[in-house]
Amino acid sequence: MLLLALLAVSKAWSADEALPKPLSSGYFVAWTGSDAAGHFEFRTAAQSTFRCGFTGKTYFEREHRRTRISLIPEGEPVEVLSERLTSPPSCRALIVRVGRLANPQGAGLFRKPWSTPTESFAPRGNLVLSGVVVRVEDPYIWLRTRAGESLMIAIRPDTRITAQGMASDRMSIPFNRPVFIRAGKSLEGEVEAYSLMWGEILQPPR
């Protein structure tokens, strides 16, 4: 009987538990468990507090390097990519980026500054392209190369977009301004961007 009562309480708690959006940002509150597994809480700008579980597969990142949850101080900005589960905990964190907040205007495919954990030292794609963007039609852009060729390139949900060396979003992609793209071909033969960047090249002082 006691076991049944505990299960009933657990199900009721799970059903009433508020869940964050798949990509949410806020401030780190507290955590329990160990670096290998446990739970943590974060509070959004709207003062909503969410609780998510984490495992050894959860990727905690600070400044493009892996870190541990035990090194995250209370009040630190975090950006959490999570998934919903059918059993407690109802929220499980997949990636937690420490020290940054999500761009509130970056919804859907128009924002994805996430990169893969290996992007910094093993970038994907065997094509390096440059040119100007002349058209954007979700989820594609059209690039006019210096040779006058027009290329249709797919922007992936995980395409890394940077401006002046800082993480940016697709809504900021400039028109008629030089951009540089590292790309490759999908299984269907479609050219897709893995990283897209633009910005001024700083010259060293003389």
pLDDT at 89: 77
Query: Is 121 among the domain residues?
Result: no
The residue from 66, 86, 102 where one domain ends is: 102
pLDDT at 53: 95
Query: Is 91 among the domain residues?
Result: yes
Domain that holds residue 192: 127-198
Q: Which domain CATH number covers 137? A: 2.40.50.140
State the Cα torsion 135-137-143-148 to the nearest 10°: -60
Number of domains in the chain: 2
Asked if pLDDT for residue 117 goes beyond 60, the answer is no
Whether residue 132 sits in one domain with residue 96: no
pLDDT at 152: 93
pLDDT at 111: 39
Whether residue 83 sits in one domain with residue 32: yes
Task: Report d(CA 191, CA 64) in Å as an integer.
Answer: 26
Asked if pLDDT for residue 1 goes beyond 60, the answer is no
Residue 132, Cα to own-chain centre: how many angstroms?
A: 25
Query: Who contacts 186 (Cβ-Cβ below 8 Å, separation ≥6)?
Result: 154, 192
Whether residue 91 sits in one domain with residue 22: yes
Asked if pLDDT for residue 9 goes beyond 50, the answer is no
Whether residue 94 sits in one domain with residue 46: yes
- 20-34, 48-62, 187-201: which has the minimum mean pLDDT? 187-201
The residue from 68, 102, 136 where one domain ends is: 102
Bridge partner list, 166: 163
- Number of C-alpha atoms within 13 angstroms, CB side, residue 151? 24
Whether residue 93 sits in one domain with residue 151: no
Query: Is 66 among the domain residues?
Result: yes
Whether residue 137 sits in one domain with residue 77: no
Would you say 40 and 54 are in contact if contact means Cβ atoms under 8 Å apart? Answer: yes
Task: Report d(CA 153, CA 23) in Å as an integer.
Answer: 25
Position 128, amino acid: V
pLDDT at 188: 78
Encode pLDDT of 55-89 as tens digits.
998 989 887 788 999 999 998 999 898 888 887 77
Task: Report d(CA 91, CA 105) in Å as an integer.
Answer: 23
Confidence of residue 151 (pLDDT cuts 50, 70, 90): very high
Query: Is 175 among the domain residues?
Result: yes
Residue-wise DSSP of 133-176: EEEEETTEEEEEETTS-EEEEEEEEEEEEEETTEE--GGGPPBS
Asked if pLDDT for residue 129 goes beyond 50, the answer is yes
Whether residue 137 sits in one domain with residue 74: no
Whether residue 66 sits in one domain with residue 134: no
Query: Is 112 among the domain residues?
Result: no
pLDDT at 124: 58
Whether residue 185 sits in one domain with residue 140: yes
Asked if pLDDT for residue 92 goes beyond 60, the answer is yes
More confident residue, 161 or 101: 161
Query: Is 56 among the domain residues?
Result: yes
Would you say 51 and 39 are in contact if contact means Cβ atoms under 8 Å apart? Answer: yes
pLDDT at 153: 93
pLDDT at 166: 82
Mean pLDDT computed over every residue of the chain: 77
Task: Report d(CA 197, CA 157) in Å as an integer.
Answer: 16
Query: Is 118 among the domain residues?
Result: no
The residue from 64, 85, 102 where one domain ends is: 102
pLDDT at 206: 53
Whether residue 97 sits in one domain with residue 58: yes
Whether residue 153 sits in one domain with residue 98: no
- Beta pairing class for 59-62 and 91-98: parallel
Which residue in 73, 88, 70, 72 sits closest to 34, CA to CA?
A: 70
Q: Is the pTM of this model over 0.75?
A: no
More confident residue, 9 or 176: 176
